[in-house]
Amino acid sequence: MKPATETGDLAAELRVAIMKTSRRLRLESSSEMLTPAQYSVLAALKTEGHTIGELAQREQVAAPSMTRIVKSLVESGWVTRTSSAQDARQVMIDISEEGMRTFVGARSQRTAWLARRIDQLGEDDRQILARAAALLQEMSAK
């Protein structure tokens, strides 16, 4: 079968391929301990703290849904709640050391799964994937 090169066809094929890969990567690191939603919140917190509202907006969920996710993360010891230095009425959510270890472990599982698949490819296909990864990064940055 000839690969799609028409813009609309190529866009549809890429969308499906990206969605399937993304779903599979989520499954590779999901467990009874860490849900995809929890993983996403930990990823958002790995560099800086956020309020519940900021996290809800980033994840495109309602604030009550984010409150439930954060509550489960607090109960697991993966995040902490503290008062904001700028406004004591605001609660900041930060990743804990245990949360960072959990996040890094889940991310490593995802990377390992993908590395095993890439390892099965020949050099030409690896070069194509390297170029595709760079292009996708560029497209996502715009």
- Average pLDDT estimate for 69-85: 93
Whether the pLDDT of residue 3 is over 90: the answer is no
Has residue 15 been placed in a domain?
no
**pLDDT tens, position by position, 27-39:** 776 666 788 899 9
H helices within 2-81, ranges in order?
A: 7-29, 36-45, 52-59, 63-76
The span from the CA of 108 to the CA of 102, in Å, is 10
Number of structural domains found in the chain: 1
Residue 127's domain comprises 32-141
Element (H, E) at 126: helix 123-141
**pLDDT number for residue 29:** 66
Whether the pLDDT of residue 114 is over 70: the answer is yes
**pLDDT number for residue 32:** 61
Lowest-pLDDT choice from 14-23, 52-61, 74-83: 14-23
Structure tokens at 46: 């790995």
**pLDDT tens, position by position, 38-60:** 999 999 999 998 999 999 999 99
Q: Which CATH number fits the domain that encloses residue 102?
A: 1.10.10.10
